[in-house]
Chain A
Amino acid sequence: METGDLRGAASAAQVHPALLFDPHEDWRRAFDPCIQCGLCGGACPLAHAMDYTPRRAIHLAREGLLDRVLQSNTLWLCVSCYTCTARCPTGLKITDVLFPALRDAAINAGLQLPGEFKRALDNTYRYGNSLGEGPRKRLEWTKGAGVPVPVISQVRRRVEVLWLVECYPSYHLRNQVQAQAMARLLHAMGVDFAILGPEEHCVGDCERLAGERGLFESLVEYNTSLLDKYEYDVLVTGDPHAYNALTRIYPTITGRTYPIRHYVEFFARRLDALKPLLTHRIDARVTYHDNCCLGRMCGLYDAPRALLRAIPGVSLVEMAFSRENALCCGGGGGGMWLDGVIWQAAGERLSDRRIGHALATGADILAVSCPFETSRFEDSLKSTGHEGRMVVRDILELLDRSMQGGTPA
């Protein structure tokens, strides 16, 4: 079984100016239309802790004072929540262009990078995942699934679903159970699926947002040729960042689109087949957190809610700031690797603030659909002193419980 190797990969990919900063062009020109209205800084959940708000960073960059921004904490506080991009009246790509470009400039200027940030990038380059785990360990989680999990290089035929498990669900203790739940659901629905196994590498969305342009390009090259090797009807993933990159970014580089679905869409479209399997009640008030990639970026608000409503006994309540207005958990775009820096600057984690919104609904369960979020929100319950008041579950875990029985908590 191949494990794949990023190093020595072919030369640079074509760059579409709209969604990626072009290292050969002056990316600052893309911000010429900025009218300095300040909506970005006003909307940014961490602007209060930044030395320069996004608006001021754009202003300084345009005035040739980029150095000042690079020396500031601004570029390390962005968690890619896309709120600024969603609000900008001029349609500027602040999240996709400004912050990655600033970080790229910092990296190339040889500035000292935060330790965990560097480690995450080194790990991705060496092992194809930011956690620094070995490629062969990608299959560990399958042992506890209770159903067969075929690996496509061994199956050697066209499959209906090529499932991109991605890194946290494969390796992180808290997320492996979610991958196992998804395997059981797919199996119970009779879906013909397979996974990539040890060959799988990160799709690279967070590395892109972290400003490591060369690393993202090599991941794009690697993943495009990997996906070309196999035949499948659809690609399904549980990782909103992988979904985001394959939906919006990869096509601008490769000129090709991918039949990519997040599991919320995939299961929602097959609710007829799924609903009969949800035989056990989960009598609970459930509130759903809209993550940034599925939500603000890609507009998937109804599918996850449809899935939750399909579970007998679930009563769905909305928390404040939902859908387009949801507050980010703070993990995206390198946020998972900048925790210490953000904490030091802001004195809080966004997930702590968000858990407050969830608790205010009086719900028993906070449902999520992004692997970063389970641990982040569970941590927040503890650190805000509310452990035991509610539990955090991925929608996959709730569907699985409804299918199998047993307590959700």
Chain B
Amino acid sequence: MNIAVLLNMVPDLVEDLEIDASGTALDTQWMRYVLSESDEHALEQALLLKGRLGARVTVLALESGDAEEALFSSLAKGADEAVKITGVSPGHSKRALAATFKEALKNMPSDLILTGVYAIDDLDGHVAGLLAGMMGLPFVGVTRSVEPADGHVVVQKELPGGAAVEIEVGLPAVLGVLSAPQPPRYVPVAKIRETRKSRALVERVTAPVQPDGVTIRRLFKPEPAERATMLEGSPEEVARQIAALLRQRGLVR
């Protein structure tokens, strides 16, 4: 079985985000990028399948300093090949990113394409669903487990409140992983350093993709709330105010 894992680098929120002079994009001067959390789970899911079936796992990411770290780390964890995609910068659009991955996946027959869902910078959709739509492949997102079977997989898709629906999906297919059955494995730093020295990334140049999708008219930060809005009054009055808040937000009927 051939599994492709698509890696998304998203803004690292550890440092404050700044908006650039144009007011429509982030100021990247101090920004760092981190692998999207659910992509780590997607890789873990792929490695678990590799462990059980001897599948071949290829990871792909768009070229960047932070992406290289993620690619080498994936190799250190056990991925068979890591591909860095050069020649493009799709900007904020996941649609354009999905189109880029689609191009990169040409001539790379995959039984399963895994990537995470809910990247923090999703604006025009998530890569998983968009890619499946563009490639005309079956798709299920928000999976919490993937069980292999003959010529298909059985996935569990999470529903609100901890319920789930079990779906049989024919291959080839695209899956949007929310979480793997076990937490992403830790890879020791020594192993990553060794991998950087001993392995090479495969480079794949892709033709630039038309950045269709939504245009950001304005990017801004919400009003910073330094402190909680304090509710005053007797315990009964406080309770009334809280109940009103909850009703207003649809958290209670």
Contacts and interface: CB of A to CB of B under 8 A. Distances in A.
- Assess A/B contact in the complex (Cβ within 8 A): yes
Given A7-B69, A8-B196, A134 B15 contact: yes
Nearest to B184: A118
A214 B191 contact: yes
B189 A113 contact: no
Contacts of A66: none
B218 to A, nearest CB: 26
Nearest to A10: B193
Contacts of A136: 15, 30
A8 B68 CA distance: 10
Interface string B181-216: 011011011111100110000000000000000000
A141 interface: no
Interface string A132-146: 111111000000000
B163 interface: no
Contact of B186 (A12, A113, A132, A137): A113
A136 B15 CA distance: 7
B14 A125 contact: no
A112 B183 contact: yes
B30 A214 contact: no
Contacts of A23: 190
Contacts of A215: 188-190
Contacts of B34: 126
Contacts of A93: none
Contacts of B183: 112, 115, 118
A137 B16 CA distance: 9
A214 B182 contact: no
A108 B182 contact: no
A112 B191 CA distance: 17
Nearest to A122: B186
A321 to B, nearest CB: 36
A118 B186 contact: yes
A359 interface: no
A99 interface: no
B193 A218 contact: yes
Contacts of B30: 136
A301 interface: no
B188 A214 contact: yes
A246 to B, nearest CB: 20
A214 B190 contact: yes
A126 B188 CA distance: 13
A408 to B, nearest CB: 28
B186 A121 contact: yes
A394 interface: no
B190 A217 contact: yes
Interface residues of A, number: 31
B236 to A, nearest CB: 30
A212 B188 CA distance: 7
A107 interface: yes
A110 interface: yes
A166 interface: no
B179 to A, nearest CB: 14
Interface string A199-232: 0000000000000111101100000000000000
Nearest to B191: A214
A110 B185 contact: yes
Contacts of B15: 134-137
A108 B15 CA distance: 31
Contacts of A212: 188-189
Contacts of B16: 134
A170 to B, nearest CB: 14
A345 to B, nearest CB: 20
Contacts of A127: 14
A113 B197 CA distance: 26
A104 interface: yes
A11 interface: yes
Contacts of B197: 11
Contacts of B69: 7-8
28 contacts: A8-B69, A8-B196, A11-B193, A11-B197, A12-B193, A23-B190, A104-B188, A107-B188, A108-B191, A110-B185, A113-B186, A118-B186, A121-B186, A125-B189, A132-B14, A133-B14, A134-B14, A134-B15, A135-B15, A136-B15, A212-B188, A213-B188, A214-B188, A214-B189, A214-B190, A214-B191, A214-B193, A215-B189
Interface of B: 14-16, 30, 34, 69, 182-183, 185-186, 188-193, 196-197
Interface of A: 7-9, 11-12, 23, 104, 107-108, 110, 112-113, 115, 118, 121-122, 125-127, 132-137, 212-215, 217-218
Given A107-B186, A126-B34, A213-B188, 15 more contacts: A8-B69, A11-B193, A12-B193, A104-B188, A112-B183, A118-B183, A132-B14, A134-B15, A136-B30, A137-B15, A213-B189, A214-B188, A214-B189, A215-B189, A218-B189
Q: Closest 6 CB pairs between A and B?
A: A214-B190, A214-B189, A134-B15, A134-B14, A215-B189, A118-B186
